[in-house]
Structure formats: structure tokens, C-alpha cells
A and B are shown apart, each in its own frame.
Chain A
């Protein structure tokens, strides 16, 4: 059956131009071509094989990661890949490793927080990887609350050095990727103390290991924090711990762009606006949102193809069974995830624009839009990563029993993905930041200060608090203005209701803490509105290719209407829509599922993922699932012998009934 496309009949059903959709998904023809070329380059290189990851021990897996990293860097140089290409190349390698932290955290930290002089000294070393760096912020006892870090960096004016010290066990750095076994350097965050005064947390460049024999420098204890979630997954990364015992570094290794310590030990803030730091945050979170769409798309691709292969029940008179993708229960769970993948893709695209916009404004010292941009990226990071990790697990369940096999690709994808809910801001903490911003915006509504950007709709509070949805028939739910108004009214009403409840408390902070759960819900409502409105905005753009726009439209309204159904309590309790209108939305949703159904496989083909990248027997492009499941099983070292190791000691004594006298 090799070579045959078991999903050809599905692909023939598609009512749109898949190649054009690939361009839309990638963002541009250029982006598509780079991505396509890089993914094939990785897929065709045997060093990057990843199918054996689950059967390796941790040490083997780690060594294999080192090999892949070195090989990748070698190829990047040999092929003279551009920055863009090498980022995508590393992405398709798809194995968490120290390179991620070096390029995405260590280098940007120096770029963002180092002075010109510091950048000149450190970046050439880092760019050639003569030093390998990581980002040592979180501690054993301290995560999201950066201001609570305990590590100290005390300035010693006598030697012109900072003394880095871990005063307690809970102050050990804990979690930084690449720290445990590989990094020679780190940007370490510590409380700056000079002249006996604590100036809060600052970054320092610290050498951790000897560049000749890789041994940790005296005064530094370092190691790996142990096994993490899942097989394979993040176990290829040496997340580490790090303790300092009065370890000295020169004064000029404090990152001094925002503030410096003078030779005399005086703390001097620079005139660089602190807000610049938020620009970096916006950039990092934008990347996370776009990664969310990739991960969700990958899971949806596997589940969709397998749902078209798998058959169950419904056979008439011993005939062929029904494809599980034809069941409404399956569509009802799967298609909203497919729609979410596209929705997150487009909101991620918009975030890229936002980042450009913010950067330009920052350069012109215009900080007006920053709080809104910051809240909006925080909220979208939280919402998309939560939805994606839940979505991956849902896709696994949608694959039935076989989804539980490692070779389905979904257990490892889930294990690799879930930390996104915690890193770069815990998702609940982030929504609370959004909520605070919303409460502030609501409070200022009457002050004449017009809300900006994604909160602009709040300027129409008077209308939105009183409007009634004019939906009368199911098709009205395909009207962008009506859908947007429903989401706007719901979000605004929830925010206003929180603000009203808050005002009942004498102490605002106590009220905030009492109402945390409601505030999170209001923040989520606001973020969902953003995603829906950016998807609708995308549809208003120029979209080429036969049938492409129509497919995107279906996905957009599936995304919006499934949210209405899922959060129906919000919409009804705020009187945004009536139960009858909700029921019409459900009818429309069912009709959209039917329209999507023949296009489902083509819509996941549009992600253009190689079988290598998917890493899933169930999600294979050719749908040849069952024979390949067998092949995978037979490869397990456990099947080397039919009689298992341990038979003589532990099974035979049962059967022969001499367990009593057996020495176990």
C-alpha cells in the first residue's frame, strides 16, 4: 500500500485552492517558500530523525540533542542561511535544546538591556557561539513574582566587583533552560545592593563554566533539575539549578542600559525610558501567540487526518463503517479547534503589526498606546496558550485509544506545549493584568479620555450597555457587525459589572482580591473579542484563490459561534442575546460544520507540515495508518525478544507454583 494516498478521496472533495491557502496560512508567498524549503531540508536529513526519541534514556536523548544542535549550527553556517531561515530551520528541528535559550533569551537580553559598549563586547562572542548563554531568572521559591527574587548582587567598592550570592535554598536559580549542562554564561537576575541599599532586581552577565574544560567555576554549584513531563518532550533540555557562594564578577557585567552603578557604588538610573522594556515583552508574546497557532494546527492536522481514516459504527449490513469525522460529536469538538488554529494565526499576524507600531512609537517617545498594547498581548498570550494546550489534549482524545500511543505524536506535543501556559507570565496572572487595565479603562470612561486600540469599543459604552441583538434568523449570525456587537456588548457588560461590584468594597485591593475569579472571566471575554474582531478584519482584506475566502469565512464564524455556545452563561446573564438567539447560533454552527466537512483534510494540508515535523503515525499525509502502527510497534526494543527479560525470575515461579521458595 506504500505510495498510495489513502486520503485522496478527501482531498478531491475540497472546494478551494489549497496552494493559495498555504500562502494565506504562511502570511506571504515568501514566508511560505522559506518555510517549505527549510522544513524539507530538516526532514530529509537523517541526523534530525526524531522517531526514536521515546525509547532513549534521558542521557542518550540529551546527547542526541547536543548532536542535533551542533549539526544544525554547522549547516546554518555552511549553507549561509539568513537569520530568517535559520530561525525557521531551528523551529523545524523540533527538539527543545539550549539553542532556543541562547538565541531567544540570552542574546535579546544583552541587546535590550546592555549598553552599546557591552553589546560590542558580548554580542560577537554570542553570535559566533564562542560563549553559550541562558537566562537565569526564576528561583526555586519564586516564579511569576520577579520582584520577590532572593539572589543578591552586592557591590564591593573595594574590588569594583559585584558579589553574587544565593542566601537561601529557595533562592537557587531553578528552571532556566540550557543552564544545567551546557551554558557557559548566563544573564542572572539578582537584587542589586549597593551602599547597603536594595535597588531591586537587575540583570548581570555571569560566566558559569570554564571555557577550556567546561567545569563550573569555583563558587558555583550547577546541575540539572531532573525528569519533566512526558517521554521525550522537554527532557531533551537541561533545565538547571544554580547556586552562588559569594561569586565575584566585574562591575561592568551588570547590564547598564537602564541604570548603572558607578565606580564609587552610586546607583544612577539612565535616561532611557523604562517603557522600552515593554517593547521586548510585546515581541516575545507575539512569538508565543504565533507558536500557539502552530502547535494547535499540528494537533488539529493529526486529529483531522486520523478522523478521516478511522471508521466506527454505522455499517449497514456488514458494509464499511462510518468515518468518525462524519459524526457531529466529532465535528463539534474538532472543527472549533481547526478554526482556532486559523484564528490564532491571524491574531498573531496582527500582533506582528502591533509590535512594529509600538516600536515606531517608542522610537518617537510616544508611550500613549503602550499600556493597551501591553494588556492586549498579555491577554492574548494567556488565552491562546490555554486554548492550545487544552486543544492538543482534546485532539488526543479525538484520536481514541491510539492517541494514547507515543507514536501518535500527541502525547509528546502536549508535554512539550503545556509549559507555555506558565512561562513568560502565568496565564491567570496575565489575565489579572488585563483585568486591572480594563477596570482602569472603565473608570476613565466618563472622564472624556477615549479608550484606544483594542479597547476602542468601550468608547461606545452607552450604546453597548443597552443594545439588543437584532438576530432573527440563523443566517444573521454570519453578519460581522451583529457578531461583533454581541462580543463587544458581552465584554463591556462583564467589565462594567465587575467595576460596579468592585465599587461596593471600601478597600479597592480587597475587592479586587475577592472578585479575582470574575475579573479573570471579564478579561477573557475581552480577549476573545479581540481574536474574533481580528479574524473578521482579516476577511475584509484582499484574499485570493478560488474558494479560499469562503473557507476562511466559515472558520471565522465557527470560531465565534462556538465561543458563544461555550460561554453562553456570559452572553445570557448580561442579556446580550436571548436564549432563542443562542439557539439560532447553534443551528448556524451545525450548518457551518456541514460546509466545513468536505474541506477539512485540505484545510489541514494547507499548514504544509511534513510528516517529519508532525511526528505522528496517525497524522501521516498518506493516511496509511495501520501498517505503520505495526512497524512502529515492532521497532520498540521491548520486542527484541518474545520472551521478556525477567521471565525466569518473576513469571515462571507463578506458573510453576514455586513462588514461595523463589528468591525475588
Chain B
């Protein structure tokens, strides 16, 4: 059966131009072409094989990761890949490793926080990977609260050095990727102390290992923090711990763009606006949202294809069973995730624009939109990563029993993905930041200061607090203005209700702490509105290709209406819609599912993922699932022999009733 496309029937059903959809998904023809070319380059290179990952011991897995990284870098140099191409290559290699931190955190930290001089010195080394760096911020006892870090960097004016020190066990750096075994350098965050005064947390470039023999430098203890969730997954990464016993570094290794310490030990803030740092944060979070759409689409691709292959129940007179994708219960769980993958894609695209806009404004010293941009990226990071983590696990469940096999690809995808809910800001902490911003915005509504950007709708508070949804029939739920208004009314009313409840407390902070749970819900409502409105805005653009726009339209309203159903309590308790209108939304949702059904497989084909990247027997492009499950099973080392190791010692004594005398 090799070479046959078991999903050809499904592909023939599609009512739109898949190739054009691939361009829309990728963002542009250029982006598509780069991505397509590099994905295939990785997929065809045997060094990047990853189907054996679960069978490797941790040490073997790590060594294979080192090999892949070295090979990837070699290919990047040999093929003279551009930065964009190199980024894609690392993405498709799809194995968490020190290079992610070197390029994703170490280099940007120096670029963002180093002076011109520091950049010149360190970036040339880092860019050629003559040094390998990581980002050492979190500590054993301290995560989200960066201001609570304990590591100290005390200036010693006698020697013109900083003394880096870990005063307690909880102050050990703990978690930084690439730290445990590979990095030669790190940007270390520590409390700057000079003249006996604590100036809070700052970044320092610290060499950790000898460049000759890789051994840790004196007074530095470094190691790996142990096994993490899942087989394969992040176990290819040497997340590490690090302790300093009075380690000395030259003064000029403090990152001094924002503040410096003089030869005399005087702390001098520079005139570079601190707000510039937020620009980087917007950038990083935009990347995380884009990654969320990648991960979710990957899971959905696997679950959709397998749902078309798998049959269960419904056979008439011994005939063929029904494809599980035809069941409404399956559609009801799967299609909203498919729609979410697209929704996150487009909101991610918009965030790219936002980053450009923010950067341009920052350069012109216009900081007016920054708080809004900051809140909005924080909220979207939280919303999309939470939904994606849950969505991957839901896709695994949608694959039934076989989804539990490692070779389904979903267990590892889940294990690799879930840290996104915690890193770069814990998702709950982030929504509280959004909530704080919303409360501030609500409190200023009467002041004449018009809310901007994604909070602009709040200016229409008078209308939104009173309006009634005009939905009278199911089709009305396809009207963009009607849908957006319902989401706006819900978000605003929840925010206003929180503000009112807060005002009942004498102490604002105590009220905030008491109402945390409601505030998070209000923040989520606001973020969901952003995603819905950006999807709708996308539909207003010029979109070519037969049937493409129609499909996106369906996905957009599936996304919006499934959210409405899931959070119905919000919509009803704020009187944004009536129970009758909610029921019409459900009718419309069912009709949309029927319209998506024939296009489902083509809609996941549009992600253009190679089988190598998916790494899932269930999600294979050709749908040839069952024979390949057998092939995978035979590869397990446990199948090397039919009689297992341990039979003589532990099974035979049972059967032969000699356990009493057996030495176990």
C-alpha cells in the first residue's frame, strides 16, 4: 500500500484552492517558499531523524542533540543561509537545544542591554559561536517575580570588579536552558550592590567555563536539573543550575546601556528611556503567539487526518464503519481547535505589525501606545499558550487510545509545549497585568482621555453598556458587526463590573487581591475580543484564491461562536445576549461545522507540514496509519527478543511455583 494516498477522497472534497491557502497561512509567497524549501532540506537529511527520540537514554538524546546543532550550524554556513532561513532551519530541526537560548535570549540581551562598545566586543564572538551563551535569570526559589531574585553582584572599587555571589540555596540559578552542560557564558541577573546600596536586578555577562577544556571556572558550580516531563521533549535540553561563590568579573561586563557603575562605584542611570525594554518584550511575546499557532496547527493536523482515517460504529449490516470525523461530538471538539490555529496565526501576524509600529514610535520617543501594546501582548501570550496547551491534549484525546502512543507525536508535542504557559511570564500573572491595565482604562473613561488601540472600543462605553444584541436568526451570527458588538459588550461589562466591585473596597490593593479570579476572567474576555476582531479584520483584506476567503470566513465564525458557547455564562450574566440568541449561535455553529467538514483535511494540508516535522504515525500525509503503527512497534528494543530479559529471574519462578525459594 506504500505510495497510495489513503486520504485522496478527503482531498478531492475540498472546495478551495489549497495552494493559495498555504500562502495565506505562511503570510506571503516569499515566507511560504522559504519555509517549504527549508522544511524539505531538514526532512531529507538523515542527521535530523527524530523518530528514535523516545528510545534514547537521556545521555544519548543529549549527545544526538549536540550533533544536530553542530550539523545544523555547519549546513547554515555551507549553504550560506540567510538569517531568516537559518531561523527556519532551527525551527524545523524541532529539538529543543542550547542554540535556542543562544540566539533567542543571549544575543538579544546583549543587543538590547549592552552599550555600543559591549555589543562590538561580545556580539562578534557570539555571532560566530566562539562563545555560547544562555540567559540565567530564574532561581530555585524565584520565578515570575524578577525583583525577588537573591543573587548579588557587589561592586568592589578596589579591584574594579563585581563579585557575583549566591548567598542561599534558593538563590541558585535554576532552569536556564543551555546552562547545565553547554554554555560557556551567560547573561546573569543579579542585584547590583554598590556603596552598600541595593539598586535592584541588573544583567551581567559572566564566563562560566574554560574555553580550552570546557571545565567550569573556579567557584562556579554548574549542572543539569534532571529529567523533565515526557519522553524526548525538553529532555534534549540541559536546563541547568548555577551557583557562584564570590566570582569576580570586570566592571565592564555589567550590561550598561540603561545604567552604569563608574570606576568610583557610583550608580548612574543613563538617559536611554527604560521603555525601550518593553519593545523587546513585545517582540518576544509576538514570537510566542506565532509559535502557539504552529503548535496548535500541528496537533490539529494530526488529529484531523487521523479522524478521517479512523472509523468507529455506525456500520450498517456489517458494512464499513463511520469515519470518526463525521461525528458531531468529534467536530464540536476538533473544529474549534482548527479555527483557533488560524485565529492565532492572524493575531500573530497583527502582532508583528504592532511590534513594527511600537518600534517606530519608540524611535520617535512616542511612548503613548506602549502601555496598551504591553498589556495586549501580555494577554495574547497568555490566552494563546493556554488554549494551545489544552488544545494539544484535546487533540490527543480525539485520537482515542492510539493518541497515547509516543509515535502519535502528541504526547511529546504536549510535553514540549506546556512550558510556554509558564515561561516569559506565568499566564495568570500576565492576565492580572492586563486586568490592572483595564481597570485603569475604565477609571479614566470619564476623564476625556480616549482609550487607544485594542481598548478603543471602551470609549463607546455608553452605548456598549446599554445595547442589546440585534440577533434574530441564526444567520445574524455571521454578521461581523453583530459578533464584534457582542464580544465588546461582554468584555466591557465584565471590566466595568470588576471596577464597581473594586470600588466597594476601602483598600484598592486588598480589593484587587480579593477579586483576582474575576479580574482574570475580565482580562480573558478582553483578549478574546482582540483575537476575534483581528480575524474579522483579516477577512476584510484582499484574499485571493478560489474559495479561500469562504473557508476563512467559516473558521472565523466557528472561533467566535465556540468561544461564545464556552463562555456563555459571561455573555448571559452581562445580558450581552439572551438565551434565545445563544441557542441561535449554537444552531449556526452546527451549520458551520457541516460546511467545514469536507474541507477539514485540506485545511490542515494548508499548513504544509512535512511528515518529518509532524513526526506522527497518526498524522501521516498519506493516511497509511495502521501498517506504520506496526512498523514502529517492531522498532522498540523490548521487541528485540520474544522472551523478555528478566523471564528467568522473575516470571519463570512464578509459573513454576518456585518463588518461595527464588532470590529476587
Contacts and interface: CB of A to CB of B under 8 A. Distances in A.
A260 B313 CA distance: 27
Contact of A312 (B143, B419, B633): B143
Contacts of B55: 58, 227
Nearest to A426: B400
A428 B654 CA distance: 40
A575 B634 contact: no
B635 interface: yes
Contacts, number: 386
Contacts of A235: 231
A313 B147 CA distance: 8
A574 B568 CA distance: 12
Contact of A140 (B141, B516, B626, B654): B626
B214 A651 contact: yes
Contact of A642 (B222, B418, B650): B222
Interface stretch (B280-288, B540-548, B636-644): B636-644
A354 interface: no
Contacts of B230: 229-231, 411, 415
A182 B642 CA distance: 10
Interface in B522-573: 565, 567-573
Interface in A106-161: 128-132, 138, 140-145, 148
Contacts of B634: 223
Contact of B229 (A411, A426, A632): A411
Given A55-B227, A62-B646, A573 B660 contact: no
Interface in A256-304: none
B396 to A, nearest CB: 8
Nearest to A64: B646
B391 interface: no
Contacts of A321: 145, 148
Given A231-B230, A407-B227, A572 B74 contact: no
Interface stretch (A211-219, A369-377, A534-542): A211-219
Interface residues of A, number: 138
Contact of B211 (A63, A67, A655): A655
Contact of A223 (B575, B633, B657): B633
Contacts of B229: 230-231, 396, 404-406, 411
B223 interface: yes
B335 to A, nearest CB: 11
A422 to B, nearest CB: 5
A572 B573 contact: yes
B226 A654 contact: no
Interface in B76-122: 77-78
A225 B226 contact: no
A569 B569 contact: yes
A41 to B, nearest CB: 16
B225 A169 contact: no
Given A231-B231, A650-B67, A312 B144 contact: yes
B573 to A, nearest CB: 4
A66 interface: yes
Nearest to A580: B573
A315 interface: yes
A65 B664 CA distance: 12
Contact of B659 (A77, A215, A575): A77
A198 to B, nearest CB: 8
A406 B235 CA distance: 10
B586 to A, nearest CB: 7
A289 B432 CA distance: 36
Contacts of B228: 404-406, 411
Given A636-B226, A646-B62, A63 B312 contact: no
Interface in B163-179: 169-170, 172, 174-175
Contacts of B131: 655
B436 interface: no
Given A229-B411, A651-B182, A634 B223 contact: yes
B456 interface: no
A54 B227 contact: yes
Contacts of B54: 227
Contact of B626 (A170, A181, A590, A651): A170
A2 interface: no
Contacts of B227: 54-55, 231, 405-407, 636
A132 B656 CA distance: 11
Given A404-B422, A514-B590, A567-B569, A224 B639 contact: yes
Which of A141, A169, A419, A517 is the most central at the interface, judged by chain B CB atoms within 10 Å of its CB?
A517
A519 to B, nearest CB: 9
B126 to A, nearest CB: 11
B73 interface: yes
Interface residues of B, number: 137
Contacts of A82: none
Contacts of B406: 226-229
Nearest to B309: A141
Interface stretch (A26-34, A325-333, A466-474): A325-333
A422 B400 contact: yes
A396 B662 CA distance: 41
B31 interface: no
B153 to A, nearest CB: 17
B159 interface: no
Contacts of B662: 70, 74
Interface in A609-664: 626-627, 629-630, 632-639, 642-647, 649-655, 657, 659-660, 662, 664
Given A130-B655, A579-B575, A590-B514, A642 B407 contact: no
A659 B313 contact: no
A404 B645 contact: no
A67 B132 CA distance: 45
Contacts of A66: 644, 646-647, 649-651
Contacts of B129: 654-655
B288 to A, nearest CB: 16
Nearest to B635: A226
Contacts of B432: 329
A418 B234 CA distance: 20
B38 interface: no
Given A169-B627, A170-B626, A654-B73, A213 B569 contact: no
Contacts of B66: 644, 646-647, 649-651
Contact of A664 (B67, B216, B393, B422): B67
B664 A47 contact: yes
Given A313-B148, A630-B241, A636-B227, 6 more contacts: A54-B227, A404-B422, A568-B572, A638-B238, A652-B214, A660-B78
Interface of B: 47, 54-55, 57-59, 62-63, 66-67, 69-71, 73-74, 77-78, 128-132, 138, 140-145, 148, 169-170, 172, 174-175, 180-182, 184, 211, 213-216, 222-231, 234-235, 238, 241, 311-313, 315, 321, 327-329, 332, 393, 397, 400-401, 404-407, 411, 415, 418-419, 421-423, 426, 428, 432, 513-518, 520, 565, 567-575, 579, 582-583, 586, 590, 626-627, 629-630, 632-639, 642-647, 649-655, 657, 659-660, 662, 664
28 contacts: A59-B637, A62-B646, A66-B646, A66-B647, A67-B649, A73-B659, A74-B662, A77-B659, A148-B321, A213-B643, A223-B633, A223-B642, A235-B231, A311-B141, A329-B517, A401-B175, A422-B401, A517-B329, A568-B570, A630-B241, A644-B238, A646-B63, A649-B66, A650-B63, A655-B132, A659-B74, A664-B47, A664-B71
Query: 5 closest A-B pairs (Cβ-Cβ)?
Result: A568-B569, A569-B568, A411-B229, A650-B66, A66-B650
